[in-house]
Amino acid sequence: MGTANRIYSAFADKDSIRRNGSSVTMVGLYDFPRQDFTPTGKPLFSTVVLREYDCEARRVRLMSSIDFSGHMGSGEPVDTSNSVRRWEPVVEGGIDELYWKFACG
């Protein structure tokens, strides 16, 4: 899966999909055409995320993320988060819906 807009290109790693009942984890990547910044001001060009999808309840949560100084997950890691976030509903028409369909499909 790959989708793009003027802000980022989004990719999903099919080989990273792991299923456990109705729960699925999958790695995604956001690549930014223009330099972006972490909340602490460190420059980045891409972010790799691990998300968990609840295929039955149609919800998603962020498990971890790594921001990279280069495109497509290259360069040095500039920020990481291993803080599991709360479950959120998958919004119809949003990027999470595309990821959810890909992971749960």
Are the C-beta atoms of residues 62 and 49 closer than 8 Å to each other? yes
Residue 20's domain comprises 2-104
CA 89 to CA 96: how far, in whole Å?
9
Number of domains in the chain: 1
Q: Which of 31, 47, 20, 30 is CA-nearest to residue 103? A: 20
Residues whose CB falls within 8 Å of the CB of residue 42, separated by 6 or more in sequence, listed in order: 67, 78, 79
Cβ(69)–Cβ(75) below 8 Å: yes
- The amino acid that residue 45 corresponds to is F
CATH number at residue 99: 2.40.128.710
Residue-level pLDDT at 83: 95
This prediction has a pTM of 0.91
Instruction: Please give the single-letter amino acid code of residue 15.
Output: D
Each residue of 4-40: pLDDT tens digit? 568 899 999 999 999 999 999 999 999 999 999 999 9
CA torsion through residues 97, 41, 43, 73, sign: negative
Give the percent of the chain with pLDDT over 70.
Answer: 95
**Which tens digit of pLDDT belongs to each residue from 62-90?**
999 999 999 999 999 999 999 999 999 99
- Predicted confidence at residue 6, as pLDDT, reads 80
